Structure 1
Amino acid sequence: MFDYLKNWYQRKFSDPDAVTLFLLLVTAFALIILFSQVLAPILLAIALAYLLEWPTQKLQRAGISRFASVITVFSLFIALAVALVLFLVPVIWQQSVTLAGELPAMLSNAKQLLYRLPELFPNYLNVGQIDHFIEVSTARLLAFGETILGQSLNQLVGVMTILIYLIVVPLLIFFMLKDKEQLLAHVNSVLPYNRRLISQVSGEMHIQIMNYIRGKAIEVLIVGVVTFAVFTAFELRYAALLAVLVGLSVLIPYIGAAVVTLPVFLVALFQFGWSAMFAYVLLAYLVVQALDGNLLVPLLFSEAVSLHPVYIIAAVLIFGGLWGFWGVFFAIPLASLIKAVIRALSTPPEPPQSQPTSD
C-alpha cells in the first residue's frame, strides 16, 4: 500500500506544474476557509464583475470602447439593483409579514384537514399516526423558527456592515471591470513560472463558470416570472413571494425544488382546501417545474459542464455545510473545478525541452 501511494505521488507530483497547481489550490481554499468573513465583499465583487464581463465584451464587439462599455453595463446593473430594492423588496417584505401573521391559522387549518384523512383512508391511516406526525412536525417547525430568529437577531448587529457592502462592493465591481487587464497582469506577475496546468484549469473553468452563472441568472428570471404569472392567474395569495422562492430554488439543484414545494402546497391548501382549484394550482406548479427541468435547463446549459446528479447533490451538501448559502450557490462551479483539476492532474507532464549544446 505504501509503495502504491509512493509511486502515485511520484507519478503525479514529479511535474512542477502539478505542484504549483496543488499549492495554489491549497492556499486559496485555506484563505477562504480562514478569512471568509473578511474576504466576503471581495469574493462577491469578483463574482458579480465576472458576470458583468459578458455583456461588457458584447458591447466591445459592437464597436464601443472598453470604458464606455463598462459605464453602460455598470449603470444598468446599479439601476436594476435600485429597482429591485424600491419595488420588489417592499412587496416581498409585506407579503412575508402577512404570511407570518397568518401562519398559525394556516397550521390550524392544515391540522383539521389532516384529521380528515383517516376518514377518507381508514385502511391506511389512523388518528394516532396523525397525532404523531403533527407533534413531530410542530417540534421541528419550532426549532427551525428559533434558528431563523436567532440568525435574524445576529444579522441586526451587521447592519452597518451591510451598508458598507452597499458602497464598497459596487466600487470594487466598477474598478475590476475598468482595470481588468491591469489587475490580471498583476495576478500573472505573482504566479510562478510553471503554470501550464493552472492555465489549463482556468481556461476550462472560464467557459464553464460563465455559462453556468449566465444560465442560472436567466433561469431564475424566467422561472420566477412564469411562476408569478401562473399563480396570479389562479389568484393565489402571496404570488410574488412564492414566485421569488420558486425562482431562487433553481439555484439549489434537485433539493431546492423539493423544499420550495412545501410553502406552495400550504398556501394553496389554506386558500382552496381539498378542492379542484387546489389540484389545478399544484398541477400548474408541477408543469412549470417539469418544463424547467426538461426544456429550459437543457437549452441554457447545453455548453455547461455535465455532472452526475450524485456529484451535484454531494457538492451542495458539502459546500453548503462549509459556507452556507454561497457554498450552495457555487456548489456546481466548485464541483466543476475539482473535476477540471483531476483532469489536469491526469494529463501526462510535458517532456523536458532539450537545452541547446554550445560548441
Structure 2
Amino acid sequence: MTLQKQVGFWIGGLVLLILSLYVLRGVLLPFVAGLALAYFLDPIVRRLAKLGLPRTLGALFVIGTFVVLFIGLMFLIVPILANQLTAFIARLPGYVVQLQTLATEQNREWLQKVLGERLPDVSRSVGDLVSQSVGWAAGFLQGLWSGGAAFISLFSLIVVTPVVAFYLLNDWPKIMVKIDSWLPLKHRETILGLMREIDRALAGFLRGQAAVCGILMIFYGVALTASGLNFGLLIGISIGFLSFIPYVGSLTGLILSLGVAIVQFWPNWSMVAIIIGIFVVGQFLEAYVLYPNLVGESVGLHPVSMMFALFAFGALFGFVGLLLAVPLAAAIGVLTRFAIRQYLASPLYTGVPREGPARSEK
C-alpha cells in the first residue's frame, strides 16, 4: 500500500470515528464515563493483582467500594449543596445590589464626575439585568433537571457506568493485547511509543489533577465554612471542581468569596482579610505542594489549550465532549509534537534531501 493510501485510510477512519461520536453523543455518556472510571481505577486493580487477588475479584472490590463511597457522599453532601445553591441563586441579585450600593455610596463623588447624574440609572439597570439573568438561569436549570431526558441520562450514568467500568477493568489487559495486535506491523513500535507517551500525559494529568481537585475541595470547603462565610461549602467545592483548569477555580472562588464576604461582614474588614488569607494559603498549597508532587511536568497540556479543548468539545458533543476533551487534547498534543519532530528532520525543513540509493545513470 502506498503512503498516500495509508494516509487516506487513517484520515477516513478518523473522520468516521468523529462522525460516529457526533451521531451517538446522546447515548455515549455512561460508556465514556465508565471508560474514564476504569482508567482511573486500573492502577489499584493492577496492584491488587500483584498481591495475589484475582483480577475479577479485584475489579469487583474496587468498583463496589467506589459505588458505596459515591452513594454515601451523594446522600450526605448533595442535599446540602442543593439547598445552598438554591439559596445562593435567590440571594444573588440582593448581593449584587448591596455591592453596588457600597461601591457607589463610598465613591459617589468620584463616580458622579465620571458618569454624571446617570449613576442611579446605571445601578438600577445593572441590578435589573442581574435579576433577569439569575431568573433565567434558575428556570433553565429547573427545566433541564425536570426533563425526562435528563432523568434518563442521570439514571443511566448511575446504573450503567459502574457495570461498564467493571467489565473494562476485568478485561483491560486482554483489550490492550487485542488492540496491539491490530496495529500495522511496520509502524507498531512507533505507534506503541506514541500511545505510551499519551498514557503518561493522561496519567500525569487526570489522576494527578483529580487528586489536587479533591484536596482543594476539602480545604476550601472546610476553611470557608469554618470562617462563617455564607455558602462556604458550596463555594469551596466549586473551587475544587473548577481547579481542574489551573487558576480558573481559585480566581472564580476568590471573586465569589470576596463578594459574599463584603456583603456579609461589612464593615468588619478583619473577616474579609481572613477570607483572603484562606486563598493565599490555598494558592501556596496548590502551586508549591500539590501540583508539583501530584501532577508534575509530564503533562504537556497548556492551560489555554485545555480551556479551548473543553469549550470546543463541549460545544460539539455536550457533556460527553467535556469528558473526552482532556484525553483527546493530550492525544492531539502528543501527535502534534511527533509531527513537528518529523518535520524538523525532513527535507522540507532542512532543505537537504534524505540519503538514499543513488539513481543509475542511463
TM-score, length basis structure 1: 0.80
Deviations 1:198-257 (A, max 9, x none): 433322111211221111221111101111222133121222111111110112334343
Which has the higher mean CA deviation after the structures are superposed, 102-111 or 47-56? 102-111
Deviation (angstroms), 1:114: 2.5
Deviation (angstroms), 1:94: 1.9
- Asked if 2 retains the 8 angstrom alpha-carbon contact of 1:252 and 1:328, the reply is no
1:272 aligns with 2:262: no
Deviation (angstroms), 1:315: 2.8
Deviation (angstroms), 1:96: 1.7
Aligned residue-pair number: 338
Structure 2 partner of 1:169: 161
Q: 2:333 aligns with which of 330, 339, 349?
A: 339
TM-score, length basis structure 2: 0.80
Q: Trace 1:97-136 onto structure 2 (pairs within 5 A).
A: 97-119=86-108, 126=115, 128=118, 131-132=121-122, 135-136=125-126
1:285 aligns with 2:274: no
Q: For the residues of structure 2 that align with 1:134 and 1:289, how far apart are their CA atoms?
A: 36
Higher relative contact order (CA 8 A, sep 6+): 1
User: 3-state SS of the aligned residue for 1:37?
Assistant: coil
Q: Which runs of 5+ in 2 are unaligned?
A: 346-353, 355-362
The structure-2 alpha-carbon separation of the partners of 1:90 and 1:26, relative to structure 1 and needing over 3 Å to count, comes to same
The structure-2 alpha-carbon separation of the partners of 1:16 and 1:185, relative to structure 1 and needing over 3 Å to count, comes to farther
Q: 2:36 aligns with which of 34, 47, 55?
A: 47
Q: Which runs of 5+ in 1 are unaligned?
A: 1-12, 352-359
- Asked if 2 retains the 8 angstrom alpha-carbon contact of 1:319 and 1:331, the reply is yes
Matched-pair identity in %: 24
The structure-2 alpha-carbon separation of the partners of 1:203 and 1:143, relative to structure 1 and needing over 3 Å to count, comes to same
1:88 aligns with 2:88: no
Q: For the residues of structure 1 that align with 2:119 and 2:112, how far apart are their CA atoms?
A: 12
- Asked if 1 retains the 8 angstrom alpha-carbon contact of 2:29 and 2:320, the reply is no
Which has the higher mean CA deviation after the structures are superposed, 231-240 or 48-57? 231-240
- Asked if 2 retains the 8 angstrom alpha-carbon contact of 1:253 and 1:312, the reply is no
- Asked if 2 retains the 8 angstrom alpha-carbon contact of 1:18 and 1:345, the reply is no
Q: For the residues of structure 1 that align with 2:131 and 2:254, how far apart are their CA atoms?
A: 16
Structure 2 partner of 1:3: none
Q: 1:29 aligns with which of 18, 32, 42?
A: 18
Q: Trace 1:1-359 onto structure 2 (pairs within 5 A).
A: 14=3, 21-119=10-108, 126=115, 128=118, 131-132=121-122, 135-136=125-126, 138-139=128-129, 142-143=132-133, 145-147=135-137, 149-156=139-146, 157-158=148-149, 159-185=151-177, 187=179, 196=188, 197-276=190-269, 277-328=271-322, 330-346=324-340
The structure-2 alpha-carbon separation of the partners of 1:140 and 1:31, relative to structure 1 and needing over 3 Å to count, comes to farther
Deviation (angstroms), 1:29: 2.2
Q: For the residues of structure 2 that align with 1:133 and 1:280, how far apart are their CA atoms?
A: 29
- Asked if 1 retains the 8 angstrom alpha-carbon contact of 2:30 and 2:156, the reply is no
Q: For the residues of structure 1 that align with 2:334 and 2:275, how far apart are their CA atoms?
A: 42
Q: For the residues of structure 2 that align with 1:286 and 1:49, how far apart are their CA atoms?
A: 35
Amino acid of the structure 2 residue aligned with 1:70 = A
Deviation (angstroms), 1:316: 3.6
The structure-2 alpha-carbon separation of the partners of 1:160 and 1:216, relative to structure 1 and needing over 3 Å to count, comes to same
Deviations 1:133-162 (A, max 9, x none): 663464266346424522531342221332
Q: For the residues of structure 1 that align with 2:275 and 2:27, how far apart are their CA atoms?
A: 44
Deviation (angstroms), 1:38: 1.9
Which has the higher mean CA deviation after the structures are superposed, 224-233 or 238-247? 224-233
User: 3-state SS of the aligned residue for 1:135?
Assistant: helix
The structure-2 alpha-carbon separation of the partners of 1:271 and 1:136, relative to structure 1 and needing over 3 Å to count, comes to closer
